[in-house]
Amino acid sequence: MSFACLAAAFTPLGPLAERLLPQAFVADDGSHDAAHLIRVWKNARRIQAQEGGNPRLLAAAVLLHDCVAVEKNSPLRAEASRLAAEKAAALLAAEGWSDADVAAVSHAILTHSFSANIAPETLEAKIVQDADRLDAIGMVGAARCFYIAGRMGSGLYDPMDPLAENRPLDDKAFAIDHFEVKLFKLADGFQTAAGARMALERTERLRAIRDMLLDEI
């Protein structure tokens, strides 16, 4: 699919999206691809409709928040958002954006990451963090979790102790452990009221998916 077609999903910022999409994601990572960017943008727009915020800044931050790819098991994982923020700042400066707007987008990208553990200070940064984390829970979150586990060579679950009742949780070895290690906890850290409401709904879906898997195994 062409970047022009993908950019249509970022209405009303389609022209901006068409310019930034070629630098926005790595094609071989299905958990951080164009579909992920579109979902995060839809989440951001839903939150922005209730909370406010600058759509142009939000669009640029969403489009470029994963513009530097670092695998989940890389020792540089905690640096991914910083590297993406630096690349985004250079791209937007070349587009002629003001220093203030470049800084705002860079901050939103820097603080979106769970691994970076940096608190967002602006409304746009809070929205981007919430919008991205919403894509890690619910049905899509479960699908991405299992996809990444396969990409990393992990198993789905421990066949002898799937709930880790008599062993330490190990989400590097078993995908289902990641639900307890991280995904079920994400809803507690949302920055906006609108995002928090959506997170609670998606966490309930995530629990239902875990329960269905346990029933079938």
Residue 104 to residue 133: CA distance in whole angstroms: 19
Same domain, 45 and 121: yes
Mean residue pLDDT across the chain:
93
Distances (CA, A) of 7 to 2, 19, 81, 110: 9, 9, 23, 23
Q: What is the pLDDT of residue 76?
A: 64
Query: How far apart are alpha carbons 49 and 12 in whole angstroms?
Result: 14
Residues 179/198, Cβ–Cβ less than 8 Å:
no
**Which residue range forms the structural domain that includes residue 27?**
1-129
Query: Same domain, yes or no, for 81 and 187?
Result: no
pLDDT in tens, 13-52: 999 999 999 988 876 788 888 999 999 999 999 999 999 9
CA pair distance 75, 20, nearest whole angstrom: 27
Go through 39-63 and write b for each residue having 16 or more CB atoms within 10 A of its CB, e for each that does not.
bbbbbbbbbbeebebbbbbbbbbbb
Q: What is the pLDDT of residue 72?
A: 67
* Same domain, yes or no: 113 and 149: no
In degrees rounded to 5, what are phi and psi of residue 155?
-85, 165
Q: Which of 64, 97, 129 is the last residue of a domain?
A: 129
pLDDT digits over 69-101, tens only?
A: 776 666 666 788 899 999 999 999 999 999 999
Number of domains in the chain: 2
pLDDT in tens, 160-189: 999 999 999 999 999 999 999 999 999 999
For residue 83, which of 36, 56, 116, 57 has the smallest C-alpha distance?
116
Query: Taking the complete model, does pTM exceed 0.85, yes or no?
Result: yes
For residue 10, what is the domain's CATH number? Answer: 1.10.3210.50
Cα angle 57-128-136, degrees, rounded to a multiple of 5:
150
- Do 124 and 23 lie in a common domain? yes
| Same domain for 125 and 72 | yes
Q: Which residue has the tokens 């922005």?
A: 48
Final residue before a domain boundary, out of 129, 155, 181 = 129
Measure the CA–CA gap between 203 and 189, rounded to whole angstroms: 12
Residue 154 clears pLDDT 90, i.e. is over it: yes
Boundary residue ending a domain (109, 129, 149): 129
Q: 175 and 80, same structural domain?
A: no
